């Protein structure tokens, strides 16, 4: 299954990913992204990819 991963050093807490896919991403109290799940089914690909691409500092990567 494809996975999405976060680079915690890069994350700046913009929360774009949280707005786009709140079932995959959350923010902790320090403003760092928290992954709710990493793996996603093929049917979710466009939504999760959109969420990853919405990150202004490219902290999220989708890989196979």
Partner 1 sequence: MTDQSGVLNDVRQGMIPAHIYNDKELFDLEKERLFSRSWLFVAHESEVPQAGDYVVRHVLEDSFIISRDEKGEVRALFNMCLHRGMQVCRAEMGNASHFRCPYHGWSYRNDGRLIGLPFHEEAFGGEEGFKKKGQTLLPAPSLGVYNGLIFISLDPNAEPLEDFLGDFKFYLDYYTKQSAGGIELRGPQRWRIKANWKIGAENFAGDMYHTPQTHASVVEIGLFREPKAEKRKDGTTYWAGNGGGTTYKLPEGSLEDRLRYVGYPDDMIERMKGQWSQAQLDVIGQDGFMISAASLFPNMSFVHNWPRVEEDSDDVHPFISIRQWQPISENETEVLSWFAVDKNATDEYKELSYKAYLMCFGSGGMFEQDDVENWVSLTNTAAGSMARRLLLNGRMGLLEDGGNVVEPLTNEQYSGPGSTRVGYSEYNQRELLTRWADHLERPIEAAAQLKVGMTAVRKTSKSGSASSCVAAEAPIDEAAETVLLGA
With CB under 8 A as the contact rule, the residue among 7, 22, 45, 53 that binds partner 1 is 22
The answer to whether 48 contacts ligand SF4 (rule: CB under 6 A) is no
Identify what 55 binds: partner 1, ligand SF4, none; CB under 5 to 8 Å per kind: ligand SF4
In eight-state DSSP terms, residue 39 is B
Q: How far apart are CA 24 and CA 33, in angstroms?
A: 10
Identify what 26 binds: partner 1, ligand SF4, none; CB under 5 to 8 Å per kind: partner 1
Question: 53 Cβ partners below 8 Å, 6+ apart?
Answer: none
List interacting residues with partner 1 (CB under 8 A): 12-16, 18-19, 22, 26-31, 56-57
């Amino acid at each position: 299954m494809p996975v999405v991963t976060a680079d915690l050093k890069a994350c700046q807490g913009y929360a774009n990913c949280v707005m786009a896919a709140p079932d995959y991403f959350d923010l902790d109290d320090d403003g760092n992204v928290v992954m709710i799940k990493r793996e996603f089914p093929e049917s979710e690909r466009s939504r999760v990819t959109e969420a990853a691409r919405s990150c202004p500092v490219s902290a999220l990567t989708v890989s196979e």
